[in-house]
Copies of this chain bind each other. A is one copy, B any other.
Amino acid sequence: MKQETRQEEIIRVAAKLFKEKGYSAVTMRDLATAMNIKAASLYNHINSKQDILESIIISIAEKFTVGMTSVLASNATCIEKLKEIIALHVEISSQNIYGMAALNHDWMHLESQLNHYKKLRSDYENDFKTILIEGVNSGEIIDIKPDVMMFSILTTLRSLYLWIPKKEDVNLKELTNNLNEILIKGVVK
């Protein structure tokens, strides 16, 4: 395990505060207090508050993109691909429970990276929808609007970060299995 740099520590603590109050409501003084230093000292490690937000959001968004690329590359069935996507969300969410909040709710406060983020997200959704449409065409899943199916599954997966930390005893494998059952069962033919 590589030693955490001071910069990484700041970003980690910031993500936690952003989850609690949102990016706009967290001040550099709040962040400094949580780090037990003064606000001015933060700037020895980071360039701006905006840079912190970018680090958090873009790094996670790119993990999803990489994961989806891997899912698309496989020769699995539609249902198997959906299961892989569920596992991808459980894994990334459980390892980034604070950052996921910023990804979901503070992306609109991105400045220079806003369009980059939007493209990553829309590409991801398009890939997801394509998988569902193929599943409908091959008869694997039910023939209702792919938009509604994607919305239903994806909003559940995107909200995992809200729920995983509440249950400290939650077994991630069991959670994944339960989600597989509930979410897949809802769309399988």
Contacts and interface: CB of A to CB of B under 8 A. Distances in A.
Interface of A: 20-25, 105-106, 108-109, 142, 144-145, 147-149, 151-152, 155-156, 158-159, 162-163, 167, 175, 178-179, 181-183, 185-187
A127 to B, nearest CB: 18
Nearest to A163: B151
Nearest to A105: B105
Contact of A182 (B22, B108, B149, B162): B149
Contact of A148 (B109, B149, B182): B182
Given A105-B105, A159-B159, A167-B147, A152 B182 contact: yes
A14 to B, nearest CB: 15
A162 B155 contact: yes
